Structure 1
Amino acid sequence: MSDYSTTRARVEDYFDRSATKVWERLCSDAPVSRIRQTVRAGRDAMRATMLAQLPADLTGARVLDAGCGTGLMTAELAARGAQVVAVDISPQLIAIAQDRLEPRFADQVTFAAGDMTDEGLGSFDHVIAMDSLIYYNGTDIAAILHQLARRTRGGIVFTVAPRTPFLMTFFTLGKVFPRADRSPIMIPHAFDALAKSTGPGLARVGRISSGFYISECLEYRP
C-alpha cells in the first residue's frame, strides 16, 4: 500500500494547504465562477444520486461518510436519522464541517480527522465515499473497498473518474507537466478494469457530467 500512503499524503497536503478556501467557497452558496458553478451543480447532482442508493429512513443506522469534506453529505445523512461517522484526511475541512453542522444534529455526528480505512472507526450499515477515491489507482481502490467491506453490513457507494477521452487528456497532461503547485492527479478508471481488481460485487449506479465535473457512481456489495 505504499502508493496509497504516498497519494494520501499528497491529497492531505493539497486540501489542508492549497485548496481549503476554494472548497469552503465551492461547497456553499457563495458566488463562484461559471466553471465552478458547473462543478457545484455536478456535485449536488452526484450527492443526490448517491443518497438515492440508501434508505430514505436511516434511523438507527450507522453510516460512514468517508471523505466528508465540508459536511454537505454528512448533514443530509443526519437529516435522514443516521448516526454518522464523518471522516476526512484534512483537519481544516473537518473544522469547517463541524462549524457548519446544525446544532440539532450534534448528537448524531462524530467527526474524525484521519484515514477512512481506520478500523478504530468501527463497523457500519452503509458507507458513502464521494470523490474521495478519485486520486487512487485500481489496486488501491480495491484494497480500500475490501477493508471497508469487512466492517460494512450494506453496500459501499462511491465515485470514480470514468475513463472518458476528456478526462484521459487531462490525466495525460498531468503526467507530462510538473505538479508542484497543483492538485493531485485524478486517475480515470474503466469499469471493467476496476471490476477485475475488486472482484464480484461491483455495480454501476450512474454518471454525472456537468461542465468540468465528470464522475461515475458505483456500488460495491461483496
Structure 2
Amino acid sequence: MTYEATRSRVETYFDQTATQTWERLTSTAKVSRIRETVRRGRDRMRARMLARLPDDLRGARVLDAGCGAGQMTAELAARGADVVAVDVSPSLIEIARTRLDPTLAARVRFACGDMLDADLGRFDYALAMDSLIYYGAADIRAAITGLGARCDQALVFTVAPRTPLLMGMWYAGKLFPRSDRSPVMVPHAPATLARGVADSGRLADLGRTASGFYISHALEYRA
C-alpha cells in the first residue's frame, strides 16, 4: 500500500470511526481496563520522548507530527516552545485546540494535513509519537530521512516493535473492539531501520514502553 493510501485510511479512522474513542482515551474520563493500560502506556511513552528535549524550549521551533488530541503539544508549549501541531484529522485538531490552555495558545499553530509536508518548514526538534506506526519500511525510511533533514537537532519518533506479543495481541483483536479497530500497525526492528538510514544519519535506540495492551519503541534520528 502506498504512503498516500495508508495516510487516507488513518485519516478516515481517526476523523470518522474512532474520534470519540480517542477523545475519551486521551482525557481523564473513566475507560475500560484494556484502554486504561493503553492510556498509561501512552503517558509513559510521551514522557520518555519529552525527556530527550531540554526542559527550557524558549526560542525553539518544534513540530508535533501527528498531534492527535494535543497532549504532547500542550507540554511542549508549556516548556516555552513555538509549536506547529499537525494532524490529518480535523476532528482531533479541534479537540486539541479546545483543550489547549488559553495562556499557551500564542505559542501553538495548528495545521490539518500531512505531517511530512515540507511547507511546514524547518524545526529544532520534531516528535512523532505513534504516528508512523502504520507505514511500511520504505515509507518510514523516507519519512525519517525527509523530516529528519529539516530538524536542526533531532527527530524523536516511535515504531511498533517486531515482537510476538504485540502481533499476537493485534491479530487477536484485543486492543480495541472490532467496531473501532485502528488501521494495521507495521512492526519494525530498530536495528534494521538504523541500517536503512545509515547513509543519511544516526539512529539512537531510546527503549521500549510496554503497558498491558500498549507497546511502542522510541528512536531518535539525527541527520
TM-score higher than 0.5 here?
Answer: yes
CA gap of 1:92–1:128, structure 2 versus 1, over 3 A, is same
CA distance in 2, matches of 1:203, 1:108: 29
CA distance in 2, matches of 1:172, 1:15: 20
- Superposition RMSD on alpha carbons, in Å? 1.6
Q: Which residue number in structure 2 is paired with residue 39 of structure 1?
A: 38
> Does the CA contact (< 8 Å) of 1:171 and 1:188 recur in 2?
no
| CA apart distance, 1:119 | 1.2
Count of aligned pairs between the two proteins: 217
Structure 1 segments, 4+ long, off by >3 Å, are 170-174, 179-182
| AA in 2 matched with 1:97 | A
| CA apart distance, 1:139 | 1.1
Secondary structure of 2:152's aligned partner? coil
Q: Mind listing any 5+ residue stretches in structure 2 that lack a counterpart?
A: none
Secondary structure of 1:154's aligned partner? strand
Q: Which residue number in structure 2 is paired with residue 71 of structure 1?
A: 70
| AA in 2 matched with 1:96 | I
CA distance in 1, matches of 2:179, 2:140: 24
CA distance in 2, matches of 1:197, 1:173: 31
> Does the CA contact (< 8 Å) of 2:18 and 2:180 recur in 1?
no
| CA apart distance, 1:138 | 1.5
CA distance in 2, matches of 1:61, 1:14: 32
Q: Which residue number in structure 2 is paired with residue 220 of structure 1?
A: 221
Q: Which structure 2 residues correspond to residues 72-221 of structure 1 after superposition, within 5 A? A: 72-170=71-169, 182-199=181-198, 200-221=201-222
Q: TM-score, normalised by structure 2?
A: 0.93
| AA in 1 matched with 2:73 | T
Percent identical pairs in the alignment equals 62
Q: TM-score, normalised by structure 1?
A: 0.93
| AA in 1 matched with 2:21 | V
| CA apart distance, 1:44 | 0.3
